[in-house]
Amino acid sequence: MDLDPDLAALRQLGGFFVLRTAGALDDQPPTLAQAYAHRGEDVYPDSITFRLRTVADRIHASELRVSASIAQQGLAARLWSVALGCAVLYGTVPDVDPRLLHWDPAASAPDDLWLADVRPLPADAATIADLVVRGHLEPLTAALHGRYGVAEGLLWGNAGSALAGAARELDRWARGAGTDAGARAQVLASELFAHPRLAPTGTLTKSAFRRRSCCLYYRVPGGGICGDCCFTRTPWSSPDATSG
């Protein structure tokens, strides 16, 4: 199936997989390329800092590194969901170059991202890794580590967790829809976990993932450990153990 201009096939997967196309928008937010490259000048707002503070307010986090982790994992999950969703439903993926992808840091899915132009690319693991890992996760990790001191191992663990979660959601949807899209998503996820940035983040066994780091969610008021966490119980006695 060819990519359609509205990426309409993604709508059946739920809002987290949907990617808006921005052709009709008059007022587009900055691109993710601008957000990653921001160095403090006033040409455009610092979207990443705004997003981190927005998330911190929503989850009542007192530490910026905690909201940075949660925000980064959310964006990583959006990118993986769009890529895997298109790969298994269309057999091709849109070019989500950060210069084409506009991001509203105040919005939630599916209204946070707009793609300026739908350009089809092959749906193989190498292409998807180039789009998501090199194009987005590497500069985002560099920005969060450099500006806020968030551990790189934690952020790459978030990326691995987000990839596994996107594949798991596609598998859940596919079982209900009676398609083999879930199996295709799992195969693609396994191939992506061979990438040198993702391979050290944890172990993927079919749809189950066990990461080697912690996203710090347990430091959110009312939070705890996630299902794929490296810890089996909340590490209250050693909070610094989650830094990498």
Give me the pLDDT at residue 231, please: 81
Q: Which whole number is the average pLDDT over 139-147?
A: 94
Give me the pLDDT at residue 23, please: 61
Give me the pLDDT at residue 222, please: 87
* DSSP single-letter state for residue 2: P
Which residue has better confidence, 243 or 182?
182
Q: Is the pTM of this model over 0.85?
A: yes
Distance CA 61, CA 134 (A): 29
Give me the pLDDT at residue 203, please: 94
Backbone angles phi, psi at 213, to 5 degrees: -145, 175
- pLDDT surpassing 90 at residue 179: yes
Q: pLDDT digits over 30-60, tens only?
A: 899 999 987 655 445 589 999 999 999 999 9
The 10 Å Cβ neighbour count of residue 33 is 18
Q: pLDDT digits over 76-120, tens only?
A: 999 999 999 999 999 999 999 999 999 999 999 999 999 999 999
CB-based contacts of 65: which residues, under 8 Å, 6+ apart?
148, 149, 150, 216
244 falls in which pLDDT band (50, 70, 90)? very low
Distance CA 177, CA 180 (A): 9
- pLDDT surpassing 70 at residue 149: yes
Q: Which whole number is the average pLDDT over 132-154?
A: 96
239 falls in which pLDDT band (50, 70, 90)? very low
Q: pLDDT digits over 207-231, tens only?
A: 899 999 998 988 888 888 898 888 8
Q: Which whole number is the average pLDDT over 60-84?
A: 96
**One-character DSSP codes across 183-236:** HHHHHHHHHHTTSTTTGGGEEEETTEEEESS--SGGGSTT----TT-S-SS--T
